[in-house]
Amino acid sequence: MTGFKRVAGVTGAMLAMVLFVSACAKKESSLPKDRGPSEVSRKSSQEAGQMAEESRQNQAKGFPPPEHQVSEAQPAVAKPEEAMTKDQMAELDRIKEKTMVFKGPKFKKQIALTFDDGPDREFTPQILKILKQKQVPATFFVVGNMVKKYPDMLREIDRDGHTIGNHSFNHPQLTKLKHPETDRQIGQTNQLIYQTIHKSPLLLRPPYGAINDQLEQHFGQKNFKIIQWSVDTRDWAGQSPEQIMATVKREADPGGIILQHCAGGKQLQSTVQVLPGLIDYFRGQGYEFVTVDKLLNIPAYEEYTNKVSQ
């Protein structure tokens, strides 16, 4: 029976991919002009082609299908907290209705640390160690090709209780890609995360924050929440710990989402060095550190993926 199941799985996956790609292809002709930032993507189209090939190979191997792409299940709505006033609930509802979010509600002194571009073996373990010592949950927006290289690090992030979000496969500017390629960037990364920790993220951070109305709508229809940020530490650009601290002190306020990195930069030692002091400072100010999903009171993963027992 195992053989039968595998064959059925492959067939289902292939059918899902065909339906999905053909649905996206219809929209391709009306792509709007890119309104995103002008940074160029880090990787060549050659790598994107290789990724598509790997995706086909994965399908042939019978890996789980990118189920979020075909799922019609709505995300579970978390219970509103009892202590909230009407105005506070209305603020939370307004945030929940949006596909794209820059920060959380103002009424609680909560703040969310986010770390992009990992996992790696250099900075990610150092950041995890500090977060564990300080008992601070955070959100990691991971890149598919790094997940592929360091699946054990992804497992460790998950085991430590942090939230994992999708940050594309190889960090292109999504607004520069055609639709089927955009979906492969996100779909294959969710597939890799699913294979590694059996969870399929619903939180998506586009590289460089580059998005347009059509992509926002497209990802919204797939139940993704696009998570931007309210404070950019510019840690990747070689900021000193003092500069990072000054930026965060100046710009962070209740509901803040702070952008940092745990891989990919030359100078991320500053990110590691500033972290303990940054945590102590905000705790001293009465802030609670939460994951992005908790800040926004939304699910982090497709509901079904939490039920997989493995």
Footprint on this chain of Zn ion (rule: CB under 5 A): 116-117, 207
Q: What is the CB neighbour count within 10 angstroms for residue 191? A: 26
- Min dist CB 47 to Zn ion, Å, is 16
Residue nearer to Zn ion on the CB measure, 13 or 101: 101
Q: State whether residue 19 is helix, strand or coil.
A: helix
- Min dist CB 189 to Zn ion, Å, is 12
Strand pairing report for 256-261 and 110-116: parallel
Write the DSSP string, 207-272. Answer: GGG---HHHHHHHHHTT-EEE--SEE--GGGT--HHHHHHHHHHH--TTEEEEEESSS-S-THHHH
Annotation says 116 is catalytic: yes
Catalytic residue among 167, 171, 179, 261: 261
Annotation says 167 is catalytic: no
Q: State whether residue 127 is helix, strand or coil.
A: helix
- Min dist CB 178 to Zn ion, Å, is 21
Residue nearer to Zn ion on the CB measure, 224 or 287: 224
Q: Which residue number is nearest to Zn ion in terms of Cβ?
A: 116
- Min dist CB 154 to Zn ion, Å, is 16
Contact 138, 167 (CB under 8 A): no
Catalytic residue among 116, 183, 235, 293: 116
Residue nearer to Zn ion on the CB measure, 20 or 141: 141
Task: List, in sequence order, every beta strand (DSSP E) within 105-207.
Answer: 110-116, 139-142, 163-166, 203-204
Residue nearer to Zn ion on the CB measure, 117 or 120: 117
Contact 268, 236 (CB under 8 A): yes
Q: Which are the catalytic amino acids?
A: 116, 261
